[in-house]
Copies of this chain bind each other. A is one copy, B any other.
Amino acid sequence: MKKNGVPELRAERLSRMVLLLQDLIRSGKDQVTSSELGRYLGTSPSSVRKDLGAFTEGRTGSAYHTSLLLDRLKLGLNLEKDTRVCLVGLDLMGMALLNLLGLKGLGWKIVAGFDSRLNRLEQLDLDFPLYPTTEIAVVVARMEIQTALITSDPHEVQKLADRLILGGIRGIINFSSAILRQNRGNVIIQDFSPASALTHMGHLLNLN
């Protein structure tokens, strides 16, 4: 996962930059400087300029044009076409994600849901199809789903991930506190557990 355009850390900042620019545009700003951007992203102005270097064309002297820059970023980061996403686990966290990510669809689309509790599947009425977790591999393959958001119980997360991989998934974002084995096939696994975030914060605070 190296040398292929944008370096890893930069890519992460740029993803946040996309959301930030959307925010700024929504609030009516159409110019923005590298130091303003840095203030939001927690980086130095020069770092912001370096990050954006690949997405501007030599025009120096004045601040960035928010909407022009956003377009360039979306194009340059290949965010134009929607990724097909599934939700694994339709408990509270699953529903919360649906609520947060379901509507807006900026570069993604939720196309299926999975849960191991059959009665849970029956009682929900969503605008995408729902399946039991036993069918993960088949459905992922048939619907050509690229990314999965896992919110299931830590105990079964590794098993579910294995099924997703079997079905040919390309990326997994793991919200549970279980840690998944990496590098299976060339699936990109992103740990995104609130528990780690809090642990990390606890450590930062106790440095004092």
**Interface residue ranges, A against B (CB under 8 Å):** 1, 4-6, 11-12, 14-16, 18-20, 23, 39-42, 77-79, 81, 83, 85, 91-93, 95-97, 99-101, 104, 106-108, 146-147, 149, 154, 170-171, 173, 175, 177-183, 188-207
In angstroms, how far is the closest chain B Cβ from the Cβ of A157? 10
Q: Which of B20, B92, B180, B196 contacts A96 (CB 8 A)?
A: B92
Within 8 Å by CB of A193, from B19, B39, B147, B191, lies B19
Contact of A101 with B181 in the complex, beta carbons under 8 Å: no
Copy count, this protein chain:
2
A179 touches B19 (CB 8 A): yes
> Cβ of A4: which chain B residues have Cβ within 8 Å of it?
207
Q: Is the CB of A100 within 8 A of B195?
A: yes
Other than the given A19-B196, A79-B199, A147-B198, 16 more pairs (CB < 8 A) read A1-B204, A6-B203, A15-B196, A15-B203, A40-B182, A41-B179, A77-B202, A81-B206, A91-B96, A95-B96, A100-B195, A101-B194, A107-B199, A147-B202, A171-B205, A190-B197
